[in-house]
Amino acid sequence: MTISAKVIADSVAEGTGIRLLTLELRYPRFIHSEFMTHRVFSRNASSSRAIPVKRLLASVRQDMAEPVSWGKNQPGMQAREDLSGWRLTAARLLWRTAGHTACAFASLAAALGAHKQIVNRLIEPWSHITVVVSGTEWDNFFALRLHEDADPTIASLAAAMDWAIIQSTPKLLRPGQWHLPYCSGEEKFIGESGLYDWVVPGVTKEDVKRASAARCARTSYLTHDGETPDMTKDPGLLQRLAGAAPQHLPPPEHQAPPSGDDSFHANFRGWVQFRQEVDHAA
């Protein structure tokens, strides 16, 4: 099982010192509901409805999600003691057998012609999810999830996130500069003026903001086919999401310039989300 966390963009606002972080996470889908309880975050997550059945089946079989700790049953939400010996071996075997059995039934459902939004639901408990998360307020999350009462699996995720943040160095941004996840140094740099200059021919500042949002929607820099994206085409994905009825607007929540104050703007403090521009323009 793989739990991972990496910082995609790390910025600190000049003047206020408020830090905005965007991380890409991979963790067992069965703890996703617990992660979703933290409402100060902006998130995009990979969807079972979008992943081809063959790809998800291969992922589950190669790297099956399972608990990081196998607690012994007792009253309450916390297991203070783990299973051991043959009981631990048997419990893990039952979990994995159930996962492989679910994969077999999912394959049969796919062979019948059922859509992936149905088939993939059968194997969700044993699958991983990729999530892009941005926020300025992290203290409460770590206080709750790096605690002895937390579920051990989400505590492992929180530990990976904490370590990734500790290792990251934020970039100082002034008003007018943008926090832009998944936009690399090849696509933007800070010129002598202190503002971003765009180095891709034919690409504007608005294109890069929209490309960042599109990549957050995919929860990856790469396209769904695993190919390097085209900066001139990425903005079209955001246009389709924002122009839909109803609108799909979480992706442009991750991009933001400093607000120049320490007030909350939506769920970010000291930063103004690109979503506000997109929402007003749509």
Residues 64-93 pLDDT 10s: 999 999 999 988 888 889 999 999 999 999
Burial of 270 (0-12, 13-18, 19+ CB in 10 A): buried
What does the H/E/C string look like for 27-68?
Answer: EEHHHHHHHCCCCCCEEEECCCCCCCHHHHHHHHHHCCCCCC
Per-domain residue ranges of the chain:
4-48+127-281
Cα separation, 102 vs 247, in Å, equals: 34
CATH class for the region spanning 4-48+127-281? alpha beta
Q: Which pLDDT tens digit goes with each residue over 136-178?
A: 999 999 999 999 999 999 999 999 999 999 999 999 998 888 9
Res 234: pLDDT: 65
> Helices 274-281 & 205-218, crossing angle to 10 degrees?
100
Summarize pLDDT for 182-239 with one digit per residue, the tens.
886 555 544 444 445 555 666 677 778 888 888 898 876 555 455 566 666 665 655 5
CA torsion sign, 28 to 31 to 33 to 35?
negative
- Model confidence at 135, in pLDDT bands (50, 70, 90)? very high
pLDDT tens for each residue of 239-265: 555 544 455 567 889 999 999 999 999
Where do the DSSP E strands lie in the chain? 4-13, 19-28, 42-45, 128-135, 171-173, 188-190, 196-198, 264-265, 268-269
Percentage of residues in the chain having pLDDT higher than 90 = 65
Phi, psi of 251 (to 5 degrees): -55, -40
